[in-house]
């Protein structure tokens, strides 16, 4: 058998595929290589009738891969959404609890050992996208490519001001990876989202992850546990080694592939902008007459309606203010068109509008 824990794309991909060809079963925690080379790796595993175990690649200690591939094997999966990165969740928890900036929260995460010296892979949403691609590929039996996931943005430019304002509206901020099956195809995205204080993800703090899987018959199934740290990852790897050892002992390893995978099966991915959701918007506006009515007029022009709003002017005795808005459900492409027009109107705004999706 082979245990691959080196990370990255190469030489990990080559080591995994060549080991399978050489008749070795594989345990891997490498979400990057699995997501990018899913088709090649699992096609090779099936051709050579060898098993690949990869529980530690998603969710740390959470047994979500086993739960999805075995416990929910009979289910038609309708939706997967989750907090899939412990580093970003730790940073967001620090910002909320201590009212500190992103930079200060990142420093705390690095000191605690949850963030790398270069945290870009985590904070820009790439790690979450890789994990979402693995879960979606497993759920729908076809390769979901990372490039087909709309990584709207990560958390690096998140302002503490928005965390404080959205708290007044009754929300917290989480980085969420989402895959939803619709009649038109699979809707895939990674972005910061607002969740109400009653939402299942609202109490998921620090390095913990949570994944909600919705089945047609099962309804919502929630997986929760530590998603970052050496010991949780090691626990998942050792669990895979034990399960593989049992299969080898009974001479069943590789006879039935872990994944029912058809390289010829294709699934349709919905283009970004075709999904509906409510949004939080924050405008830095000039202190001029009727500025709110101008904003609402442009939003209405693109079929975006306002549910709630908050306005504050004469901030620090300067000639500008801020307007925060919660919209009703709207198509993101319509909202983007409206914001493009608002941001281009110099008589309204003094900087680019902040936009955050609201998870419902």
**pLDDT at residue 342 in the model:** 94
Residue-range domain boundaries for the chain = 2-67+229-250, 74-226, 277-358
The whole-number pLDDT of residue 271 equals 83
Q: What percent of the chain has pLDDT over 90?
A: 74
**Per-residue pLDDT tens digits for 317-340:** 466 788 999 999 999 999 999 999
Fold for the domain defined by 2-67+229-250? Rossmann fold (3.40.50)
In tens, the pLDDT along 345-354 reads 887 887 889 9
Q: What is the mean pLDDT of residues 175-198?
A: 94
Cβ-contact 254, 173 below 8 angstroms: no
Catalytic residues: 131
Residue 199 pLDDT class (50, 70, 90 cuts):
very high
Neighbours of 21 (CB within 10 A): 13
Per-residue pLDDT tens over the stretch 206-215: 999 999 999 9
- Pairing, β 2-4 against β 26-28: parallel
Q: Cis link prior to 11 (omega < 30° from 0)?
A: yes
DSSP 42-95: HHHHHHTT--EE-GGGSSTT--HHHIIIIITTTS-EEEEEEE--HHHHHHHHHH
Q: What is the pLDDT averaged over residues 215-230?
A: 92
User: What is the CATH number that goes with domain 74-226?
Assistant: 3.30.360.10
Angstrom distances, CA of residue 41 to CA of 53, 54, 143, 217? 12, 12, 11, 31
Residue whose token pair is 């705004």: 349
Mean pLDDT value across residues 159-172: 93
Tens-digit pLDDT profile for residues 304-322 = 999 999 887 655 546 678 8
Q: How far lies 319's CA from each of 322, 330, 342, in Å?
A: 11, 31, 19
pLDDT in tens, 45-90: 989 999 999 999 999 899 999 999 989 999 999 999 999 999 999 9
pLDDT of residue 48: 92
Q: Which CATH class is domain 277-358?
A: alpha beta
| pLDDT for residue 346 | 80
Q: What is the pLDDT of residues 252-299, one digit of tens each?
A: 666 544 445 565 677 889 887 788 899 999 998 887 778 889 999 999
Burial of 255 (0-12, 13-18, 19+ CB in 10 A): exposed
Placement of tokens 């607002």 in the chain:
194
């Amino acid at each position: 058998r082979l245990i691959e824990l080196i990370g990255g794309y190469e030489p990990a991909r080559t080591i995994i595929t060549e080991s399978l060809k050489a008749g070795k079963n594989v345990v891997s925690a490498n979400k990057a290589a699995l997501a990018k080379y899913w088709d090649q790796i699992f096609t090779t595993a099936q051709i050579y009738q060898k098993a690949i175990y990869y529980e530690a690649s998603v969710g740390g200690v959470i047994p979500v891969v086993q739960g999805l591939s075995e416990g929910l094997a009979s289910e038609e999966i309708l939706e997967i959404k989750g907090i899939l990165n412990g580093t970003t969740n730790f940073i967001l928890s620090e910002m909320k609890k201590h009212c500190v900036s992103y930079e200060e929260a990142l420093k705390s995460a690095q000191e605690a050992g949850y963030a790398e010296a270069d945290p870009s892979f985590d904070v820009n949403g790439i790690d979450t996208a890789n994990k979402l691609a693995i879960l979606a590929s497993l759920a729908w039996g076809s390769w979901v490519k990372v490039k087909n996931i709309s990584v709207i943005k990560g958390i690096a430019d998140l302002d503490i001001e928005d965390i404080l304002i959205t708290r007044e509206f009754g929300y917290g901020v989480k980085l969420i990876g989402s895959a939803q099956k619709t009649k038109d195809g699979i809707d895939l995205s990674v972005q910061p989202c607002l969740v109400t204080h009653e939402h299942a993800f609202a109490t998921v703090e620090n390095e913990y992850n949570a994944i909600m899987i919705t089945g047609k018959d099962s309804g919502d199934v929630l997986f929760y546990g530590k998603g970052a740290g050496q010991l949780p990852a090691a626990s998942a790897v050792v669990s895979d080694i034990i399960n593989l050892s049992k299969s080898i002992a009974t001479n069943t390893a590789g006879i039935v592939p872990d994944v029912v995978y058809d390289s010829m099966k294709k699934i349709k991915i919905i283009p970004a902008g075709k999904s509906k959701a409510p949004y939080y918007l924050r405008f830095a506006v000039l202190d001029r007459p009727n500025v709110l009515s101008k904003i609402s007029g442009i939003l209405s022009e693109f079929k975006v309606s306002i549910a709630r709003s908050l306005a504050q002017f004469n901030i620090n005795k300067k000639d500008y203010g801020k307007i925060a808005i919660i919209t009703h459900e709207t198509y993101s492409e319509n909202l983007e068109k409206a914001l493009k027009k608002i941001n281009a109107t110099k008589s309204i705004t003094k900087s680019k509008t902040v936009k955050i999706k609201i998870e419902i």
